[in-house]
Amino acid sequence: MQNFRAVVSADYLGKYIHDTYVRPARERGDRVVTIRVREVCQALSHGYSENLVRGVLGSMKFRNAYRLPLVAADEHADGRPAAFMFKLQGRRAGSSLRRWILAV
């Protein structure tokens, strides 16, 4: 009997990456976040290929869904991206509270 693994959708993988790497960086107030392809694969117990992770990180759908302009991509010697660096846009945690306090 073959070992079947549930197919993960690119949307699920994008949400996982966002929730694990992007959201915490935004909450810390970071201006950029660097996501390493191998690190994502290791976190998922190498259940998904590096090519799938690269495909999600490099897609416009992922960048547009989470408002992540691509700043840079670090490459392996063979030209495949090893890490993606994104600029974090949007409000920093607590910025609306600061505006409210200043207005009062």
Which pLDDT belongs to residue 91? 54
DSSP string, 25-52: HHHHT-SEEEEEHHHHHHHTTT-S-HHH
Give the residue carrying structure tokens 């117990």: 45
Of residues 60 and 90, which shows the higher confidence score?
60
- Give pLDDT, residue 8: 60
| Per-residue pLDDT tens over the stretch 39-81 | 999 999 888 889 999 999 999 999 999 999 999 988 876 777 8
pLDDT, the chain, mean: 82
| HEC string for 1-20 | CCCCCCCCCHHHHHHHHHHH
